[in-house]
Structure 1
Amino acid sequence: MKRVVSVSLGSSNRNHRVRTVFCGEEVEIERIGTDGDRKRLIQLIRELDGSVDAFGMGGIDRYIYVNQNRFTFREAEVIARAAVRTPILDGSGLKNTLERMVVEKLAGHPHVQLRGKKVLLVSGLDRFGMAEALVQNGCEVVFGDLMFGLGLPVPIRSLAALERTAKILAPLVTKLPIRFLYPTGYKQEAVAGKFASFYADADVIAGDFHFIRRHLPEDLWGKIILTNTVTALDKSLLKERGVRLLITTTPHLEGRSFGTNVMEALLVALAGQKDGDLTESDYRKLIEEVGLEPYIEWL
């Protein structure tokens, strides 16, 4: 049996464990949150190192990609180095492959028809693959990186502007502690409610669910949410606020979807990779073999 563990800076209230079968092999997948405690997270990785097949690293990105440029978060790199024998994945490989594939599938999907819709992507730098695919498939996209990451009410309205922003900000923000940029621990459960007008103007709200939830307005009537890492409680919240359709880029397992870091770790474990070094073509082949499909639910 393969064992995959996602160790996260996020809330322990979102912990979950499932056993399932992929490609004829039994797999145990577990998510363990440390409520924002970095020292505890590193200790947990060291304790499990070598006894699990792959780690997912949740609540923090290790890398962000913009075209061929890769930027490394300093804090995440310190955390990742605690794993010496077991590969540790942050999900960036799947964000660049699976999420592109999902957007392409949904562009002309009879129940979704993503093509031509207005999309609020809460962070394009976090999901540049999705950002490119949305634009390439005819969506009108607002990128919320400055709003949701830095709290500045400044929308970005083109890929070119997003790239220019990345070149300026990425070398700086990747040196900051993640708590200044992204909700960790119990902050993931708080709702601040800013930027409601940008939610209202969009047909589709896309991207990291913790960013989406952080400023979730009361009225989301008729909206489509394209995200992942959604629990049963999250679905209830979205339904209460009027969301019409929930789509997660990763499949649901026993009532919830796991993050891209978990599913990337799963693919690495199934491939038997000890260093976690997979190419884009490797990921695409594994996605097809495992049969990863987006989850679509009418709320």
Structure 2
Amino acid sequence: MNCGRETILLERRGCNGCIDTAARFLRELDGRVDALGLGGANFFYQLGSRRYPCPEGQYLYRQVKKTPLVDGSGWKQWIEPLAVRLLDFLPFGSTALVVSVLDRYWLAQALQFKGFKVIAGDAAFGLKLPLGFSLSCFRLLGHLTMPLLAHLPLAYLYPHGNGQQKSYLRFNHLFTRAKIIAGDWHFIRHNLPNSLEGKVVVTSGTTPSERQLLRRVGVFSLITTTPIFAGFSPAANAMEAVMTALGSVPEQFAVLAGDFGWLPTLHLLQE
């Protein structure tokens, strides 16, 4: 990708969900690249002003000694909430399903500030329990349970590797209640219903074929929270790594992303 006078080589290396493979890649690349982005694991789970360490994310963080390693949280905090500006065409009080608030707390908070009713899908999409909670209720429950639940293995909570391409028709009742479906694409893809007629999806990391899939199930519009390069919308961690390689800090991301035209974008999928 070209960034003004700079040319950035952005490369994705998959690990098929294997933590040991990811650790090996990080050690091999440490000191050889300008920035590293970690996908599929967060350093911390964010809930309000509190952060709960993710053991596997912390383990991978410790593998790197020289190169800046980011997990996408800077992009999620400073760029993704700007996506709500593109939702003015929806009625005040519409319902938004955030598939994992612990992963996208700042987006969930921005949706609530905008006047949308937020459903936290963490219990459903992470713990496989058919439950959805209001954001305020989830914050309370989360603060009580996260000291224990934060230690659950990521392989149980999050689809990795080939499992990301499998779709289970679960939690349709939560999708039905919401006008907005927001958050991690792999959670959405992993549980995608046969119909999302008239819905708005807010996510990143989609490919052309996946956007065609959203079109086929009736999604009205897609808001990509990362730019599209050669048809692919990178994940938040990849974009944060790009910003870091360019010498930016999270508080400056919005200015730099605006200069490059990398802010959230609305795409109409139905004519």
8 Å CA contact retained: 2:41, 2:71: yes
**How much does 1:155 deviate?**
1.0
Larger strand share, 1 or 2? 1
Q: Does 1:156 align with 2:156?
A: no
Give the counterpart of 2:49 among 68, 75, 78: 68
Distance of 2:264 and 2:182 partners within structure 1: 14
Aligned length: 269
Give the counterpart of 1:96 among 77, 90, 97: 77
Amino acid at match of 1:138: G
Give the counterpart of 2:8 among 7, 12, 27: 27
> Cα RMSD (Å) of the superposition?
1.7
Distance of 2:57 and 2:125 partners within structure 1: 20
Distance of 1:209 and 1:71 partners within structure 2: 22
SS in 2 for 1:31: coil
Give the counterpart of 1:178 among 114, 137, 154: 154
Deviations 1:78-133 (A, max 9, x none): 11211111111101111111112222x2242xxx4374322111111211101111
Change (3 A) 1:264 1:57: same
Distance of 2:91 and 2:165 partners within structure 1: 29
Q: Does 1:44 align with 2:22?
A: no
Distance of 2:86 and 2:91 partners within structure 1: 6
Distance of 2:102 and 2:133 partners within structure 1: 11
Deviations 1:16-64 (A, max 9, x none): xxxx112331111111111112211111111111111101100111122
Distance of 1:259 and 1:156 partners within structure 2: 26
> Which residue does 1:217 correspond to in 2?
193
> Which residue does 1:133 correspond to in 2?
110
Amino acid at match of 1:293: L
> Which residue does 1:5 correspond to in 2?
none
Distance of 1:23 and 1:62 partners within structure 2: 31
8 Å CA contact retained: 2:123, 2:129: yes
Task: Identify unmatched segments of 5+ residues in structure 1.
Answer: 1-19, 273-277
8 Å CA contact retained: 2:77, 2:106: yes
Distance of 1:270 and 1:113 partners within structure 2: 36
> Which residue does 2:86 correspond to in 1?
106
| TM-score when normalising by structure 2 | 0.93
Question: Which range moves more in the overlay, 186-195 or 281-290?
Answer: 281-290
**How much does 1:262 deviate?**
0.6
Identity %: 36
> Which residue does 2:96 correspond to in 1?
119
Give the counterpart of 1:208 among 184, 188, 191: 184
> Which residue does 2:225 correspond to in 1?
249
Deviations 1:191-235 (A, max 9, x none): 111011211221111111111111111111111111111112211
8 Å CA contact retained: 1:23, 1:289: no
Distance of 2:256 and 2:150 partners within structure 1: 30
Change (3 A) 1:150 1:52: same
Change (3 A) 1:284 1:298: closer
Distance of 1:217 and 1:244 partners within structure 2: 15
Distance of 2:4 and 2:90 partners within structure 1: 31
Deviations 1:169-195 (A, max 9, x none): 322222222111111111111111101
Task: Identify unmatched segments of 5+ residues in structure 2.
Answer: none
